Structure 1
Amino acid sequence: MKAAIITIGDELLIGQVVDTNSVFIGQQLEAIGCKVIEKIAVSDTFHQIIETFEKYQNKVDLVLITGGLGPTKDDITKKTFAHYFNDELVMNTAVLDHVTQLIANYYNRPLNEMNRLQALVPSKCEVLFNDVGTAPGMLMVKEQTVFVSLPGVPYEMKYLITEKLFPYIKKHFQLDAIVHKTVLTVGIGESMLAEKIALWEDSLQLQNIHLAYLPQFGLVRLRLSKTGDSVEEITQEIDEKIKELQQLIPAFFIGVTNTDTLFDEVVQLLKKSGLTLATAESCTGGSIAQKLTSIEGASAYFKGSAVTYATESKIAVLGVQQQTIETYSVVSEEVAKEMAVGAKKIFQTDLAIATTGNAGPLKGDADAEVGTVCIAFAYEDKVESFTYNFGKPRHKVIQAAVEKTWLLLYQYIRLQIKST
């Protein structure tokens, strides 16, 4: 089964809104064995939408459209959708009753004309009832292609995909078995890794296993994918190739991961290990803590952070010694160590990680060169520290420091879990 994704709206084209919908849709379709061959963003105009529909007609099994279903005059997707199928919009009483009830419950006011228009749908469409919003999904079939139009509001789109569209797809299409496995490698760049595993990569092609390189700071993820008739057979084939890879690059091979990022992996390991964490941040300005607290339920393992940006706050809050700063500079492993120990003590955690550095563009209170970051990691009664230079510009230094933090946490917690 093949699919194309169309996102509609000028706000996407000019960068006013970041398109996260197509990312979610692509991931979900791929997970059930539907291959996405293309995705495109188009303006909310009649001719652009029609032209895009025609482009995919009979080329794919499914065209999935999001956006342009609002009640305002600039949202014309619904009218264009009806026109493409030589249909007309009619009032759907079930949708109208639902919209009326939602407006009454949440806004405590009667329905206005704009809200009423939400209940208009093409007369021939299959309505995907939107229990969590006002704009329904609409499904229509033309020749060999199913077209589905969904609202652009992310939580509404996600609900309709998983609860309404997927049951339809599984009922009407023969889906291939599909398996993805991702291997994490650390300490080797993408080009060097590709050179080392070139022959192994060639052998994957003989078995129709697709390999994708997914580089991030300090690591490269290798995603192996294959479609076929049997999940069990595909899994066995991929597992055998992963064993070969581990023997080929033992120094860089970390293991198989089922997450999209190293941060996601750290979160899973924290949950699994039962370890608690605190942070002490200077140059990263709370970025590590912010990322951790963006995850629901983070309080189970993350206990707090001290953002001691100024030199004096490192002394007053974390107990860093003035003598240490004067002797080694505020950007030093010695200061980072005392910051980590201070955070571990304040928040009474198993682990604490600290960052101090020169993100630039000026040196500030430090002697270290711009781009220098010192990271310290306190655990049990030990402290380890590291110094890096991430270059320029400022935002890159901060991002690199945060990513390095996830790598250090990942390596330590994984070892702790293995030893228990």
Structure 2
Amino acid sequence: MKAAIVTIGDEILIGQIVDTNSGFIAKELDAVGVQVVEMLSISDDKQQILETFEKFQNHVDLVVITGGLGPTKDDITKKTFCEYFDDVLIENTSVLEHVKELIERVFKRPITQMNKEQALVPSKCHVLFNKYGTAPGMWMKKEDTVYVSLPGVPFEMKYLIENEVVPKIVQEYKRPYIIHKTIQTYGQGESLVAERIETWENELPQNIKLAYLPAPGRVKLRLTARDFDRNYIENLINQKASELVSILSDIVVGYDDNEPIEVVVGRELSKIGRTLATAESCTGGKIAQMITSVPGASNYFRGSIVSYATDVKVSVLNVSEDVIKTNSVVSKEVAKEMALGVKNIMNTDYALATTGNAGPLKGDSDVEIGTVCIALATPYGVEVEEFNFGQPREKVIDRAVVKAFEMLRKEILKNV
């Protein structure tokens, strides 16, 4: 079963709001075996809507549309539906009663004529009851394609997808199972990872696809399988995932999106009963922010010092002025003293420190832009590395954060 998702609204096309509806709908459809083949946003224009409907007619099984169902004149989806389906609007008694009750109970005022018009729906449509709003959803079929129109308000759309659309799809269509498994790797780029698994990838069965999802310093590898036999496809994708993990065991940190490296590191610190602090300069507190985004981080994370200015490194972290003058504030020597300083101040087992030139200006150091020094103080000594992460600024910061976590995790695993 193939689907397309269409969002209607000029506010999306001019960047006034971000379309979050499509992502939610796609996940919900995917979970019940519906393959989304296209997403697009279009304007509140009758001709544009009609052309879009025609485009998908008999090319997909399902078109889910959000937006354009409000009570104002610029919301034209219902009238356009009538034109496309050669239909007329009629008043739906159940919807009218719901709208009246909602307006009078929530807004404490009498219902207006504009509110009453929300109860007008195409005579041929199957009405999808909207518990949380005045605009009902509509389900209409033309030849081989079903068109579902939903309000653009996210919480109303979500209710209708979960309680009306998905149950109706499950009831009326036979669909394959779609299973995803995502493996997270850190420390190697996309091309290097691809080279390492090339032979394995070439031997994948036709019903399993591999997607590379790269980001600075890390690559997610998503396996997707489709089949009508759930047990078969689950066993197959688990087998292939295990093979992949075996090949990339030195850089794999976890599975799926709920296991980012900050979660993995936090769990490992809790397991061994060790504590952590950070001293950040060029990363500006981003390492600490990621650590504290994990529930329960207070069990192992004691705190952070964002020593962005050079004099703060001296006065707070006790970095030697002579070391800075001799080596530059962006140096392995300064990173080492920052890590030891925050480790001593916070009384922790581990401490991470970053100092660098993220750009676009050099700041207090003449070292090359993109240079970052990362130090990791442990119960056994201090490890310091220097990198050049290039440009732009955002890329440098992101890569530095990822590399810091990678260094910490490798050190923890060595001593587990």
Q: Where on the TM-score scale, by shorter chain, does this alignment land: which range?
A: 0.7 to 0.9
Q: By how many angstroms is 1:82 displaced?
A: 3.2
1:67-115 Cα deviation digits (max 9, x unpaired): 2233332222232223322333344454455555555666555555555
* Matched letter for residue 147 of structure 2: F
Counterpart for residue 165 of structure 1: 165
Counterpart for residue 359 of structure 1: 358
Q: Are the structure 2 counterparts of residues 282 and 2 from structure 1 closer, same or farther at C-alpha, using a change threshold of 3 Å?
A: same
Q: What is the TM-score when the length of structure 2 is the normalising length?
A: 0.83
Alpha-carbon distance in 2 for matches of 1:304, 1:110:
55
Counterpart for residue 155 of structure 1: 155
1:295-345 Cα deviation digits (max 9, x unpaired): 778767766543332222334444444444334332223433444455556
Counterpart for residue 202 of structure 2: 202
1:267 is the counterpart of 2:263: yes
Counterpart for residue 309 of structure 1: 308
Alpha-carbon distance in 1 for matches of 2:293, 2:319:
29
* Matched letter for residue 284 of structure 1: T
Q: Helix, strand or coil for the counterpart of 1:138?
A: strand
Alpha-carbon distance in 2 for matches of 1:75, 1:292:
44
Q: Helix, strand or coil for the counterpart of 1:399?
A: helix
Alpha-carbon distance in 1 for matches of 2:52, 2:36:
16
Q: By how many angstroms is 1:187 displaced?
A: 4.2
1:101-132 Cα deviation digits (max 9, x unpaired): 55566655555555554444333333333334
Q: Helix, strand or coil for the counterpart of 1:204?
A: coil
Counterpart for residue 283 of structure 1: 282
Q: Are the structure 2 counterparts of residues 184 and 383 from structure 1 closer, same or farther at C-alpha, using a change threshold of 3 Å?
A: same
Q: By how many angstroms is 1:7 displaced?
A: 1.6
Q: What is the TM-score when the length of structure 1 is the normalising length?
A: 0.83
Q: Helix, strand or coil for the counterpart of 2:149?
A: strand
Identity %: 57
Alpha-carbon distance in 2 for matches of 1:350, 1:107:
57
Alpha-carbon distance in 1 for matches of 2:70, 2:298:
37
Unaligned runs of 5+ in 1: none
Q: By how many angstroms is 1:357 displaced?
A: 1.4
Q: Does the Cα contact within 8 Å between 1:68 and 1:76 map onto a contact in 2?
A: yes
Q: Does the Cα contact within 8 Å between 2:150 and 2:157 map onto a contact in 1?
A: yes
Counterpart for residue 35 of structure 1: 35
1:129-175 Cα deviation digits (max 9, x unpaired): 33344433222222322221222233333333223322222111112
Q: Does the Cα contact within 8 Å between 1:311 and 1:330 map onto a contact in 2?
A: yes
Alpha-carbon distance in 2 for matches of 1:271, 1:118:
51
Alpha-carbon distance in 1 for matches of 2:106, 2:321:
57
Q: How does 1:311-326 map to 2 (within 5 A)?
A: 311-326=310-325
Alpha-carbon distance in 1 for matches of 2:292, 2:173:
40
Alpha-carbon distance in 2 for matches of 1:107, 1:295:
39
* Matched letter for residue 48 of structure 1: Q
Alpha-carbon distance in 2 for matches of 1:304, 1:100:
54
Q: Does the Cα contact within 8 Å between 2:262 and 2:290 map onto a contact in 1?
A: no
Q: Helix, strand or coil for the counterpart of 2:203?
A: helix
Alpha-carbon distance in 2 for matches of 1:276, 1:132:
46
Deviates more, 1:178-187 or 1:100-109: 100-109
Please identify the structure whose Cα radius of gyration is greater.
Answer: 2
Q: By how many angstroms is 1:35 displaced?
A: 1.0
Counterpart for residue 254 of structure 1: 252
Deviates more, 1:142-151 or 1:167-176: 142-151
Paired residues in the alignment total: 413
1:325-374 Cα deviation digits (max 9, x unpaired): 33433222343344445555666766553332111222111232211122
Q: By how many angstroms is 1:176 displaced?
A: 0.8
Structural RMSD (CA): 3.5
Q: Does the Cα contact within 8 Å between 2:356 and 2:372 map onto a contact in 1?
A: yes
Q: How does 1:408-419 map to 2 (within 5 A)?
A: 408=407, 411=410, 415=413, 419=416
Alpha-carbon distance in 2 for matches of 1:41, 1:192:
36
Q: Are the structure 2 counterparts of residues 289 and 251 from structure 1 closer, same or farther at C-alpha, using a change threshold of 3 Å?
A: closer
Q: How does 1:29-68 map to 2 (within 5 A)?
A: 29-68=29-68
Q: How does 1:216-255 map to 2 (within 5 A)?
A: 216-246=215-245, 249-250=247-248, 252=250, 254=252
1:8 is the counterpart of 2:8: yes
